Amino acid sequence: MKIMAVDLGKARTGIAVCDASEMLASPVTVIHEHDEERLLEKIAALVLEQQPKQLVVGLPKNMDGSEGESAQRCRDFAEKLEQCTQLPVVLRDERGTTITAHGYLNSTDTRGKKRKAVVDAVAATIILQDYLDFRRNQKNNQ
């Protein structure tokens, strides 16, 4: 099943998708948008283009596992996204994904403007790959 991930940000939102076999997550784009309604419209357009069957939205929990204002914003956004796209939306803990994304970009020597342009899509890819690994492990443990 093809799945799309969303790494919601205040100014930039990363998008990633996986292949139908759910083996590999890949970055798609970064949407530069502050307005929530326009962001929903842009993601809905990508859903029509990419044809995923499910969406995953990163949930920014605090390091102690608690949820703050950003997590609530993501929960609210996920509900709107589900209504807008008519697709099931799963929330996935995204603690550490941006740090991991920066680590990957360091290892590829991606710097400056190029780094800023792709870090959110890389973070979305990490969120999605984590979710795919979780799904695979659930299947294997049944």
Span 37-63, pLDDT tens digits: 999 999 999 999 999 999 999 998 888
Q: What is the CATH number of domain 3-140?
A: 3.30.420.140
Q: How, if at all, do strands 54-59 and 25-32 pair?
A: unpaired
> Can you give the pTM of this predicted structure?
0.86
Q: Is-contact 25 129, C-beta < 8 A?
A: yes
List the chain domain ranges.
Answer: 3-140
Alpha-carbon distance of 47 to 4, in angstroms, equals 8
Nearest to 4 by CA among 62, 84, 63: 84
CA angle 23, 26, 28 (to 5 degrees): 145
SS3 15: strand
Span 95-142, pLDDT tens digits: 666 666 556 566 666 566 665 666 788 889 989 999 999 898 887 776
